[in-house]
Amino acid sequence: MSARHQVAGNQLALLKNGAAFFPQLCADIDAARHSVYLETYIFAADETGHMIADALRRAAARGVAVRVLLDGFGSAELPQYWVDELRRAEVEVQWFRREVSPFTLQRSRKRRLLRLHRKLAVMDGKVAFVGGINIVDDIPEHSGFTMPRLDYAVRVQGAVAGEIHTAMRRLWGMVSWANFHRRSKEIKRFFLEKAEPAAVPDIAFLLRDNLRHRRDIERAYLKAIAGAQHEIIIANAYFLPGRVFRRVLRKAARRGVRVVLLLQGRVEYRLQHYATHALYDQLLAAGVEIYEYQASYLHAKAAVVDGQWATVGSFNIDPFSLLLAREANLAIRHAGFAGELRSSLLAAIDSDAVRIGDEYGRTGNFFGRLVARLSYGVVRLLIGMLGYRGHTP
């Protein structure tokens, strides 16, 4: 595990990629005495999935309450027999919006697209993980890559872990109520239990949902960017921000702040990949530095501002995260932690990324720019069809 940072009574450790995250997660599950909560978008039936599932079964076998919440779309390929085996081992498994019935086609388009994109875990309410790493093998299958996805998670011990525990219990209770799995008294207890922010101003556990926390993570980004004096580094897998976000980035660059974007260089989702390219001209013109990660897929959702403020989590700066998904990030004001994340991001830029220069806008790149504009137009149309015209990127 990396260096440990003491922040307002909490101990934090930055974990890079699954090689650091998965063994530490298993060790903390094995150390749990009372409860384990796990939320993930993707739980894959692969070697990593086996490792985490075995740790969950071991915990349940010694009497620990183990609860796993899976997204119905992201984890749709997880075989049913995996779920059955977990349940036979006394691991409780629930699905967030599993679309399996033809009757779901009658639902609102927007409601069908609401997803659980959080990657959270908490043990005994004392140790928690927040990040962007799914339960899936680190190196993408059939990709030809020898390098893992670039991604991060944070391990936290202290009052913030208790706040994360409360938030996860509350969502578990809401899903239980929706699935009619629990008695009314227990459901009432879950709903009344609120995730009040811990009294630690240098750490904030930030949520995004479609109720009370629609823009909390976005606002934290905007506040940090607007207050930047020297440097902004953002690593984001799927980057398609709205007008306000782009304007704040351009204003920062024009007042002399170094603005660095580390974005996806490998084509993973074609429409979104090329739509992002449509933003390059205006960002480059404002002096923003753009780098595309090439060693593997970029999956990080992290940022550092002035070497003092940092955030790590599941939140992409794109319409999916901005408008549709449940997300979770940690925002941390601490020079030691921010400096470690900054060094890691700069190392990835120096060794595994290519810089996008002024040649991008030259006439010789006409076809690429046309594809980007068309892709961007399609994304605008899709978001508008969902009724989010006021938030269209």
Would you state the pLDDT for residue 221? 97
The residue out of 161, 182, 200 marking a domain boundary is 200
Q: Write the pLDDT tens digit of every residue in 232-271.
A: 999 999 999 988 999 999 999 999 999 999 999 887 766 6
Active site (annotated) includes residue 301: yes
The H or E element containing residue 86 is: helix 80-88
Is the Cα dihedral 27, 77, 301, 141 positive or negative? positive
Active site (annotated) includes residue 194: no
**Average pLDDT of 363-371?**
58
Does 17 have pLDDT greater than 80?
yes
Would you state the pLDDT for residue 84? 97
Q: Which is catalytic among the residues 16, 119, 334, 391?
A: 119
Q: Which is catalytic among the residues 124, 138, 151, 352?
A: 124
Domain match, 370 and 238 both: yes
Half-sphere exposure of 319 (CA within 13 A, CB side): 24
What are the distances in angstroms from CA 9 to CA 5, 67, 122, 165, 198? 10, 27, 18, 17, 11
Does 230 have pLDDT greater than 50?
yes
Pairwise CA distance, residues 155 & 360, whole Å:
39
DSSP conformational letter for 320: I
CA torsion 323-324-329-333 (nearest 10°) is: 0
Domain match, 163 and 244 both: no
Domain match, 241 and 334 both: yes
The residue out of 170, 200, 230 marking a domain boundary is 200
Domain match, 47 and 172 both: yes
Whose structure tokens read 């207050």?
Answer: 227
Would you state the pLDDT for residue 391? 43
Does 184 have pLDDT greater than 60?
no
CA torsion 222-223-227-229 (nearest 10°) is: -50
Q: Which is catalytic among the residues 126, 301, 334, 391?
A: 301
Q: Write the pLDDT tens digit of every residue in 84-143.
A: 999 999 999 999 988 654 444 444 455 556 899 999 999 999 999 999 999 999 998 877
Domain match, 25 and 174 both: yes
Q: Which is catalytic among the residues 165, 273, 299, 391?
A: 299
Lowest pLDDT segment from 73-87, 94-108, 330-344: 94-108
**CATH number of the domain encompassing residue 92:** 3.30.870.10
Pairwise CA distance, residues 230 & 46, whole Å:
43
Active site (annotated) includes residue 137: no
Active site (annotated) includes residue 124: yes
Q: Which of 168, 72, 68 is nearest to 112 (CA)?
A: 72
Q: What are the strands, taking DSSP E only, across the chain? A: 4-7, 10-16, 35-40, 65-71, 91-96, 115-116, 119-123, 127-131, 152-157, 203-208, 231-236, 258-264, 289-293, 301-305, 309-313, 325-333, 353-356
Q: Which is catalytic among the residues 5, 117, 165, 334?
A: 117
Q: Which of 129, 137, 139, 140 is nearest to 165 (CA)?
A: 129
Domain match, 34 and 162 both: yes
Quick count: other Cβ atoms within 10 Å of Cβ 64? 20
Is the Cα dihedral 251, 252, 256, 260 positive or negative? negative
Does 390 have pLDDT greater than 50?
no
State the total domains in the chain. 2
Share of the chain above pLDDT 90, in %: 68
Q: Give the helix ranges, DSSP H, for 36-76.
A: 47-61
Domain match, 226 and 146 both: no
**Average pLDDT of 59-84?**
97
Share of the chain above pLDDT 70, in %: 80
**Enclosing domain of residue 234:** 204-391
Domain match, 240 and 319 both: yes
Active site (annotated) includes residue 299: yes
Whose structure tokens read 């697209």?
Answer: 113
